[in-house]
Amino acid sequence: MNRNKYIKRESYLNKLIIRRDNGEVKIITGSRRCGKSWLLSHIYKDYLLEQGISSDNIIMLDFDRDDDKYDFDILDSKAVKEHIYSRIKNENENYYVFLDEIQELDNFERLVNGLNSHDNIDVYVTGSNSRFLSHDIRTIFRGRGDEIRVFPLSFREFCQEAGDVREAWMIYSTFGGMPRLLHYHDNEQKINYLQNLWEKTYLDDVVERNNVRNELAISRLATSLCSSIGSLTNPARIANTLESVQKMKIDSKTVSSYIDYLENAFLFESAERYDVKGRRYYETNKKYYCIDIGLRNARLNFRQQEPTHIMENVLYNHLRVLGYLVDVGIVESRETKNGKTSYSQREIDFIANKGSLRYYIQSAYSISSEEKREQELASLLKISDSFKKIVVVGDEIMPYSDDNGIYFTGLFDFLLKDDWQ
């Protein structure tokens, strides 16, 4: 990539800047090839150089390389430690240590914690598996770890390299936002790259790291999850589908483990169902979303191009990029009609929470009739609290609020903003 043309990824850069020299290990997590390494080795490094830091004081090691770049064994903890400390010449100067895909190094915790104990060493590590999930960080780094989650390019970031927003959407909704795709201008190259990511990088890594015996099963499970994005499901239902459609016998416990492996590799995320009025989570059934819509489409050989599901997945990812925790909302109610009382559950596509902020969001690709409009609004109208309620439509519209205070906005307007007050 032309370094003068790369997408700066300012939101992630700003997160690194405000954490600089804070005494904590900065842990950059995310799927492989989503841009973690480039963020550190180019974007953040360029920032440090602009701030007057000498290149000699920036020490970068990549543990995911098989070449002979280094004159020592990059996977030998002792040799790595000796190399790093040999580069630190002056205790009165600050040093910045970047350790890329650190999970490949055995006993990395001791090395990282040792480096972080020095006041003049600022440590940054990247990782692409579950050992770097939030609930493990306190243990691994003795309570001094600070996680920054990196996602593939958002639609807003992608538009920095595109002209017309409609044309950008056509490309993005098909091929997604894996940064490497900016190199390619031929669709065949993009397709091959995304499909090779699945076969040569992601699935191989998941199988090897988790000692998966049934490689075919986890491969078909990944395909099944991509096919059913935005649909409520559970391991038992998926196991039944694999048996009936794929003629593959697999128990629900194994399916559950395999889903965990795929989530821990940052390839999928799940959204739990939340009872808005009862303020509780349901233990059964979740929705799964692929971390990048292009990866989802490639896994299905670009066959299932349903605009409603694609839009919903992209909206979910956008909310996660902005740092929201996302649930599926359930509104339970009793309704009396013609003297008969009935019990109903209505769904809200997303409940997005971040600190004191909350949004209720419906994804409505098209509101082509009054009946469809009433259907999309039904669950939102049952909510009595004061948090903002939003309907995102696939058409380009001028944003407005109706008489019930529900905010309507177009897809592009929603994706190009980070708040909707």
Residue 95 counted as domain residue = yes
CATH number for position 91: 3.40.50.300
pLDDT at 129: 74
Alpha-carbon distances of 103 from 129, 140, 315, rounded to whole Å:
8, 12, 31
- Mean pLDDT of each 10-residue bin along the chain, 421 residues long: 68 98 94 95 97 98 80 93 96 97 88 95 88 57 85 96 89 97 94 97 93 95 96 96 90 96 95 95 95 98 93 98 97 81 90 97 92 92 95 94 96 92 71
Amino acid at 348: I
Residue 120 counted as domain residue = yes
Indicate left, alpha or beta for 262 from its phi (over 0: left) and psi (-120 to 50: alpha).
Answer: alpha
Does 176 lie in the same domain as 140? Answer: no
Residue 410 counted as domain residue = no
Look up tokens 């596509």; give the residue. 349
Alpha-carbon distances of 127 from 32, 98, 328, rounded to whole Å:
8, 12, 28
pLDDT at 5: 56
> Six-digit token pair at 94?
């600050």
pLDDT at 419: 84
pLDDT at 2: 46
User: What is the phi/psi pair of residue 87, to 5°?
Assistant: -85, -15
Residue 376 counted as domain residue = no
CA distance 168 to 387: 32
Residue 250 counted as domain residue = yes
User: What is the phi/psi pair of residue 375, to 5°?
Assistant: -65, -45
Q: Helices (H), strands (E): how many in the chain?
A: 17, 13
> What DSSP state is assigned to residue 70?
S
pLDDT at 3: 46
pLDDT at 66: 63
pLDDT at 304: 86
Does 189 lie in the same domain as 77? Answer: no
Residue 342 counted as domain residue = no
pLDDT at 138: 58
Indicate left, alpha or beta for 263 from its phi (over 0: left) and psi (-120 to 50: alpha).
Answer: alpha
CA distance 53 to 102: 24
Does 168 lie in the same domain as 139? Answer: no
pTM confidence score: 0.94
